[in-house]
């Protein structure tokens, strides 16, 4: 197939990817919106005594109000005697889990289309397909969805699906509308095997960090009462494990970038904005892991540190190339 047709096929597959990710997002959102609600302890019901409500125990009172507000004839509050009331949310409809399973299938189809767009883009130009901002953002979205889907094979994390899919769909839409450039050759500095080593590691780590960032945001949004989100402990566990996997890969990416810089420009470090922010991101995630391992930080404090690191990552991956100059400004931004 001629190069121009391969490039056109790549663009078409990106559009198909966006549609499939959005369809998957709807399925995940339906399961999340109508699935079973739980408390932060994982319980599906809670017993409230008159004394506890009178004394104003915060967690119990909030849970009771949330459950009563969501109550129905089938799943509302029920008297149990001795002044105690068992409150529980409505039973979820039978189709809600099915919507989640269909969403997983749609997610894998979108993943395949995303992979196809990357492969055909690379074949059309005869190089590794992440030589500019458009190609890099496409790869980052692919890595985020890959991290989510692979994790889903080992643990039920479908609660992340709606948020990961909409993030990836918006990222691809941003790339198509504002970053797209025609497939073509790259500057000599990028025409190196180091692009496969350095950028691939950054893409993989970035995908895992996105999953952790989404989990961290959901942790802060998760209330004290009944919610269809998982417990805060589960959300924090997912985020921590993703960062533990991603951090050494990001460390390798930073080291590989320094080695590539020495080969391309004759120095390992030059205070280029991209280099500075890659190191700042590394420090921020190192601070998060250090705080958990040595100071025993957990919960909200650790999550806030993690999200600060996530903000540094996003600025490093996208913001530096758009708003700052430097030696990495050859990563074209389309108009």
Can you give the pLDDT at residue 3?
Answer: 87
Q: Using the 8-state DSSP alphabet, how is residue 129 labeled?
A: S
Among 153, 156, 301, which Cα is nearest to 238's?
156
Rounded to whole angstroms, how far apart are CA atoms 136 and 201?
12
Nearest Cα neighbor of 318 from 193, 149, 170 is 170
pLDDT value of residue 325: 62
Q: Please check whether residue 135 is in contact with residue 129, taking contact to mean a CB–CB distance below 8 angstroms.
A: yes
Model pLDDT, residue 165: 96
The rounded distance, in Å, linking the Cα atoms of 223 and 232 is 9
Contact 144, 166 (CB under 8 A): no
pLDDT of residue 44: 55
Half-sphere exposure of 165 (CA within 13 A, CB side): 30
pLDDT at 78: 45
Contact, 102 vs 31, CB < 8 A? Answer: no
3-state secondary structure 1-44: CCHHHHHHHHHHHHHHHHHHHHHHHHHHHHHHHHCCCECCCCCC
What distance lies between CA 316 and its chain's CA centroid?
A: 16
Task: Tell me the C-alpha distance between 222 and 208, whole Å.
Answer: 21
Look at residue 263 in the predicted model and tell me its pLDDT: 84
Q: How far apart are CA 145 and CA 149, in angstroms?
A: 6
Note down pLDDT in tens along the chain; length 335 residues.
788 899 999 999 999 999 999 999 999 999 988 887 776 765 555 555 555 445 544 444 444 444 444 443 344 444 444 555 555 566 778 888 999 999 999 999 999 999 999 999 999 988 888 888 899 899 999 999 999 999 999 888 999 999 999 999 999 999 999 888 888 777 776 777 888 899 899 999 999 999 999 999 999 988 776 688 888 999 999 999 999 999 999 999 999 989 988 887 788 888 888 889 999 999 999 999 999 988 788 889 999 999 999 999 999 887 787 777 655 555 555 44
Distance, in Å, from the CA atom of 160 to the CA atom of 36, rounded to the nearest integer, reads 15
Q: Is 49 helix (H, G, I), strand (E, B) or coil?
A: strand
Q: pLDDT for 141-196, tens place per residue?
A: 999 999 999 999 988 899 999 999 999 999 999 999 988 888 877 777 677 788 88
Q: Are 273 and 325 in contact (CB under 8 A)?
A: yes
Q: What is the pLDDT of residue 245?
A: 96
User: CA of 248: how far to CAs of 80, 253, 286, in Å?
Assistant: 53, 9, 10
* Report field, pTM of the whole predicted structure over 0.95: no
Tell me, what's the pLDDT at 335?
40
Comparing C-alpha atoms, which of 213, 223, 165, 220 is closest to residue 37?
A: 223
pLDDT in tens, 225-250: 668 888 899 999 999 999 999 999 99
- Residue 329: the pLDDT is 55
Q: What SS3 state is found at 100?
A: helix
Buried b (16+ CB within 10 A) or exposed e, 32-55: bebbbbbbbeeeebbebeeebeee
pLDDT of residue 113: 98
Which two tokens mark 9? 């096929």
In contact, 226 and 70? CB cutoff 8 Å? yes
Instruction: Compute the distance between CA of residue 181 and CA of residue 79 in angstroms, rounded to an integer.
Output: 65
């Amino acid at each position: 197939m001629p190069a121009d047709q391969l490039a056109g096929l790549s663009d078409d597959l990106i559009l198909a990817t966006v549609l499939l990710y959005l369809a998957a997002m709807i399925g995940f959102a339906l399961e999340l919106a109508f699935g079973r609600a739980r408390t932060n302890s994982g319980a599906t019901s809670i017993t409230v005594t008159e004394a506890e409500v009178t004394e104003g125990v915060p967690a119990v009172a909030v849970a009771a109000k949330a459950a009563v507000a969501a109550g129905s004839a089938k799943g509302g509050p029920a008297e149990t005697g001795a002044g105690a009331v068992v409150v529980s949310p409505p039973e979820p409809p039978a189709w809600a889990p099915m919507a989640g399973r269909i969403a997983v299938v749609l997610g894998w189809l979108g993943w395949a289309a995303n992979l196809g767009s990357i492969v055909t883009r690379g074949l059309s130009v005869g190089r590794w397909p992440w030589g500019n901002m458009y190609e890099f953002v496409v790869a980052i979205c692919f890595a985020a969805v890959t991290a989510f889907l692979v994790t889903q094979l080992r643990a039920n994390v479908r609660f992340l699906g709606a948020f990961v899919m909409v993030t990836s769909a918006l990222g691809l839409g941003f790339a198509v509308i504002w970053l797209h450039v025609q497939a073509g050759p790259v500057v000599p500095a990028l025409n190196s095997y180091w692009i496969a080593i350095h950028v691939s590691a950054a893409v993989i780590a970035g995908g895992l960090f996105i999953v952790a960032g989404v989990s961290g945001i959901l942790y802060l949004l998760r209330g004290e009462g009944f919610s269809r989100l998982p417990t805060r402990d589960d959300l924090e566990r997912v985020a921590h494990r993703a960062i533990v996997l991603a951090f050494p890969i990001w460390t390798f990416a930073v080291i590989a970038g320094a080695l590539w810089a020495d080969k391309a420009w004759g120095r390992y470090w030059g205070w280029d904005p991209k280099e500075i922010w890659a190191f700042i991101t590394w420090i921020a995630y190192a601070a998060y892991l250090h705080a958990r391992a040595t100071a025993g930080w957990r919960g909200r404090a650790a999550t806030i540190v993690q999200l600060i690191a996530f903000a540094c990552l996003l600025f490093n991956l996208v913001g530096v190339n758009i708003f700052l100059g430097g030696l990495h400004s050859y990563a074209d931004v389309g108009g």
